[in-house]
Structure 1
Amino acid sequence: MTGITVTLRALHHGERDLERELLAAADRHRTDHEFHHVATDVARWSHEHAARLADVARHHGLELSAPPDDPSPAALGALREKGTEALGGRPEPGLLLLHDLRHLHLAAASNSLYWEMLAQAAQATRDERLLGLATSCHPQTLRQMRWTNTMLKEVSPQLLTST
């Protein structure tokens, strides 16, 4: 296995995880309509990225499963329970939102680093297919990061200073 295939596999896994986590957070915060809708929309980007990564990976001799069309409600419920356990029960909704935003931001940042690594490797090997993929997907990952960062800046002051 080459460094490129290892990175493709890691990024594919990261994009699928980010999609699931965005959808689970959207479900947890469904009463915050703006958050719910934006999280659902940007989750579609990760879904598309994973599918495109699986396609490009085949050209590198790597078989990655394409993401299913929609995650099952049971999978979302399991993620919700996992998140609740990680936070030690039922935290205040605002603190849960901050936790989710932090977690989503870090997941998107991790994916961004992998996209950058793939772009650099694609340039070094003159792999136009891989470079095209990184060039078209990485900006959306950066937008996911900017969205979570902006949300954190907007809600942190009120949520962390309220009694």
Structure 2
Amino acid sequence: MTGIETTLRLLHDGERDLEQDLLAAAARHHTDHEFHHVALDVARWSREHAARLADAGRGHGLDLSGPRGNPSPGALAALREKASEALGRRSATGLLLLHDLRDLHLAAARNSLHWEMLAQAAQATRDERLLALVTDCHPQTLRQLRWTNTQIKILAPQVLTSV
């Protein structure tokens, strides 16, 4: 397996993981409507990225379209939502949200680095299709990073000084 193929696989897995993590965090923090809805929106970006990476992978002899190893069942999502409603806006909920934002930020940063590596490899090999994929998708990953960073900047002072 070439370095490009390895990076495609890592990035595909990273985008799928980020999507699932965003969906789980959105369910956990269902009562924070702004976070919930934005997390669902940016999770869609990761789902689209993974689909496009799977398509690009086929051009490199990879099958990246297999089922997820750990799908989130509907009952678990409903339980998360009920737990979120029961917790409401207590300080423990703020710490959990801050923890989730940190993990989401690190996952998005890892994906961003993989997008950058893929861009450099596409330029080096003059792979216009791969470069177009990176040009389309990487800016959305950077927006995911900025969103999590902004949320951390807003939430951290409130949560960490009130605990």
Structure 1 residue 65, shift from structure 2 partner = 1.1
Q: Once the two structures are superposed, what CA deviation does each residue of 1:43-98 show, in whole Å capped at 9, x if it has no partner?
A: 00000000000000000111111678x964257579x6xxxxxxxxxx81010000
Q: 1:74 to 1:116 in 2, by over 3 A?
A: farther
Within the alignment, does 1:26 sit opposite 2:17 as a pair? no
Alignment of 1:62-77 (within 5 A): 62-65=62-65, 72-74=73-75, 76=77
Give the CA RMSD over aligned residues: 2.0
Q: 1:111 to 1:76 in 2, by over 3 A?
A: farther
Q: Distance in 1 between matches of 2:7 and 2:74?
A: 30
Q: Distance in 2 between matches of 1:39 and 1:25?
A: 8
Structure 1 residue 42, shift from structure 2 partner = 0.1
Counterpart of 1:124, as a letter, is A
Q: 1:9 to 1:26 in 2, by over 3 A?
A: same
For normalisation by structure 1, the TM-score amounts to 0.87
For normalisation by structure 2, the TM-score amounts to 0.87
Structure 1's unaligned 5+ residue stretches are 81-90
Aligned to 2:38: 38
Indicate if the aligned counterparts of 1:11 and 1:115 stay in contact, CA closer than 8 A: yes
Indicate if the aligned counterparts of 1:30 and 1:36 stay in contact, CA closer than 8 A: yes
Aligned to 1:146: 146
Q: 1:35 to 1:11 in 2, by over 3 A?
A: same
Aligned to 2:94: 94
Structure 1 residue 38, shift from structure 2 partner = 0.1
Structure 2's unaligned 5+ residue stretches are 81-90
Q: Distance in 2 between matches of 1:105 and 1:125?
A: 30
Structure 1 residue 138, shift from structure 2 partner = 0.2
Alignment of 1:100-139 (within 5 A): 100-139=100-139
Indicate if the aligned counterparts of 1:19 and 1:43 stay in contact, CA closer than 8 A: yes
SS at match of 1:31: coil
